[in-house]
Amino acid sequence: MHRTSGRLADGREILWFDERPGRDRGVRDLRDLPAVEHLSQIRYDAVLDEWVGIAGHRQTRTYHPPAQTCPLCPSTPVFSSEIPSADYDVVVFENRFPSFAGTPDGPAAPDTSRFVAAAGAGRCEVVCFTSDHDGTFSRLPPERVRTVIEAWADRTAALSALPGVEQVFCFENRGAEIGVTLAHPHGQIYGYPFVTPRTATMLRTARAHRERTGRNLFADVLEREIADGSRIVAATAHWLAFVPFAARWPLEVHLYPRRHRADLSELDEDERAELAELYPQLLRRMERVFDDTLPAIAGWHQAPVHQGRDELRLHLELFTIRRAVGRLKYLAGSESAMGAFVNDIPPETAAELLRAADPS
């Protein structure tokens, strides 16, 4: 993998991750773009003990453009996109409409006695998986998936080193039903200025489990799933994919490395090679369960930068809101207002459907 760095017309960083050396990445971005303003803010919810991002400038972000003006396709003589080159393998660049950006302007400690707000510092990046506008992650060749993995690992390490970043999250939103506004196959990477609520809950649970048993919670979950076996979807020497015992979504798969890894940057050569083969296979299994579109989210849970790295194990959470042909799982009253999920498909049934699906 060969990494080249450049700058877009408004000063944002762009990085090419190429599978072969010698690609010309010296093309300048000649667009007339205003500088990106860092307008994000975070506010503390004293009732739930959570931080909330406020980013009103994102209302003006690009929304379902026609294919010929897709900002994630390579630039052409008639249209200059976000990528100032005629082709690419994998590209990462700073989001023009970031949820979090800039460096912190000072500490903002949680305080239930008053309203607390701070600059929404951090970093948001876009990851373009392929120059093919009509492609999907599930159909990328293993070599390209491996390049994406290398980009995720590279950016996880780089964002973790930024001042004020507490957690790095690599994810893909897929499908208009999920809310995707750009059809080109891509994902995102967030460098949060706080530990996210989901991760904070996992850490509290893992620490309590450690105090009670002296063992790692995620290692024990993996051991129990292997012993049970009914929810395992796929297994390799270094990875295990299973539907979790208390799955919230109609089709939900968790993918764990068998050895403890805090984040993607810690994966070794063998783990990365197997992941490049296994991950798209899981996506293809999910695509074939229902003869319909696959609105899905894939998110890498990684340990925070400064805490819990011996407790929280890296893992992928992959799920779809598709519950049947022509039917979606909506987060209605119980899920949205109370956070209490009700799943229409038993996890054991979901695992059976996924195992039976053809991954080729």
Catalytic residues: 186
User: Do 329 and 350 meet the contact criterion of CB atoms below 8 Å apart?
Assistant: no
**What span, in angstroms and rounded, lies between the C-alpha atoms of 5 and 267?**
23
Supply angle C-alpha 198, 315, 154, rounded to 5: 100
133 is in an annotated binding site: yes
The amino acid at 77 = P
Give the phi and the psi of residue 280 in degrees, each rounded to 5. Answer: -65, -30
Centre a 10 Å sphere on the Cβ of residue 334 and count the other Cβ atoms it contains: 11
Query: 3-class secondary structure for 157-225?
Result: HHHHCCCCCCEEEEEEEECCCCCCCCCCCEEEEEEECCCCHHHHHHHHHHHHHHHHHCCCHHHHHHHHH
- Which tokens go with 313? 């194990």
Judged by DSSP in three states, 352 sits in: helix
Q: Taking Cα atoms as reference points, which of 287, 273, 274 lies closest to residue 234?
A: 274
**What span, in angstroms and rounded, lies between the C-alpha atoms of 99 and 223?**
37
Rounded to 10 deg, the angle between the 217-228 and 197-213 helix axes is: 80
Query: How far out from the chain centre does Cα 203 lie?
Result: 19
Give the largest Cα separation in the chain, rounded: 64
124 is in an annotated binding site: no
Start-to-end C-alpha separation, the chain: 26
Centre a 10 Å sphere on the Cβ of residue 211 and count the other Cβ atoms it contains: 8
The amino acid at 103 = T
184 is in an annotated binding site: yes
73 is in an annotated binding site: yes
**What span, in angstroms and rounded, lies between the C-alpha atoms of 81 and 115?**
41
DSSP code at position 251: E
- Residue ranges of the annotated binding site are 70, 73, 133, 184
Cite the annotated binding site for Zn(2+) by residue number: 70, 73, 133, 184
